Amino acid sequence: MMEVQKLVAKQAAPAPKPTEPEPDRRDQGAVWPMKLSQFMQGGWLEPADIVLSRKNGNFVSKLIRLVTKSHFSHSALVYVTPRFDPNYDNTFVIEAGTRGVDLANLARYVNDERSVSAVLRLNKAWFKDDVRGRVRGLVLNYIDAGYDYGIVLQILHNAWFRVKRSVEGHKRAVHGYTRKGRMAPTKFICSGFVQIGFIEAVAELVATGKLPRETLKEVVYTPAGLDALPKDLDALSAEELKAVLEEFQEDVQDFLEAVTPQDLAKSGNLEWRYVLRDGVAYRVTDAKEAQKLLYWKVKQPRLQNTPAQALS
């Protein structure tokens, strides 16, 4: 009994508050924009970075962006890079698509001249390699999850969902689909898959006292999800926290699965890092700077010794 009381007391004590993240020293002396081949070899990407992408001239991509009111049609999570694991020659992402959850070579996105990609990062002092690793490990558990249904039917399903959402409201519409044994439409565009990975990893570490409780709010990328959390998690006892975490993941599952690429792009907790297009990598510091590079007909600047800030 005494050991159980000690464990509860230990879990009840909030973890120490993390300090602010240190500036990325790799930015010092770097010349932007740079050739994409140089960028991919330079170790700029980190595991658990989020990659948003869209494809010009692709009907499916355009329809998804229209239905979800997003600048992007797809999202993926960086799984491994050569810098973090020398056994790999390429950077791989883990993604959820119509054929299921699988690993893909990031070069498939960035080397397609029709595509533009943006890289977002959770740049928090507490988001260290071990936490990144846990996020990767949990999303890997979904590698056998199959989403093999007709792509045309799914597009129509997405469009009909948008109509239902405008009439019934977002939560009721999502509940209606999941109650009938169907997946929320945004599982098709996989942003919900990325969101669930962050939530499950951080909730697990918060429950065991390895992360401060307030960090959970920093990985909820939908306003509806944030509204479902108590305002002061530190005021809860260990038992209350356990109950809150269980109820949150059950009651708000629909919202989390229905996160869109636009939700990720608009999150104040995710930092814009890079825009990759036309064989060139650009360093950006915020959404406003990135927006200038997200349009298709953008004038291609010459590659020269020009810092990224000059593009803003």
Tell me whether residue 14 is in a domain. Answer: no
Tell me whether residue 242 is in a domain. Answer: yes
Out of 39-48, 64-73, 172-181, pick the least confident. 172-181
Give the number of other Cβ atoms within 10 Å of residue 70's Cβ. 23
- Note the pLDDT tens digit of each residue in 137-160: 888 887 755 543 333 344 445 555
Residue 202 has pLDDT above 80, yes or no: yes
Helices and strands of the chain, counted as H and E runs? 14, 8
- Convert 261-300 to b/e letters by CB count within 10 Å (16 or more is b): bbbbbebebbbbbbbbbeebbbbbeebebbeebbeeeeee
Higher pLDDT, 195 or 305: 195
Higher pLDDT, 280 or 146: 280
Tell me whether residue 125 is in a domain. Answer: yes
Distance (Å, rounded) from C-alpha 134 to C-alpha 139? 9
- Could you tell me the pLDDT band of residue 207, with boundaries at 50, 70 and 90? very high
Residue 22 has pLDDT above 70, yes or no: no
Top-confidence range, 67-76, 123-132, 227-236: 123-132
Total domains in the fold of the chain? 1
Describe the chain by its helix, strand, coil percentages, rounded to 5.
Answer: 45, 15, 40
Length of the chain: 312
Q: Which two tokens stand for residue 6?
A: 């000690």
Tell me whether residue 266 is in a domain. Answer: yes
Q: Show the domain range for 49.
A: 30-291
Tell me whether residue 12 is in a domain. Answer: no
Tell me whether residue 105 is in a domain. Answer: yes
- Note the pLDDT tens digit of each residue in 112-133: 888 899 999 999 999 999 999 9
Tell me whether residue 2 is in a domain. Answer: no
For the residues 275-286, what does the mean pLDDT come to?
95
Out of 30-39, 64-73, 236-245, 256-265, pick the least confident. 64-73
Tell me whether residue 91 is in a domain. Answer: yes
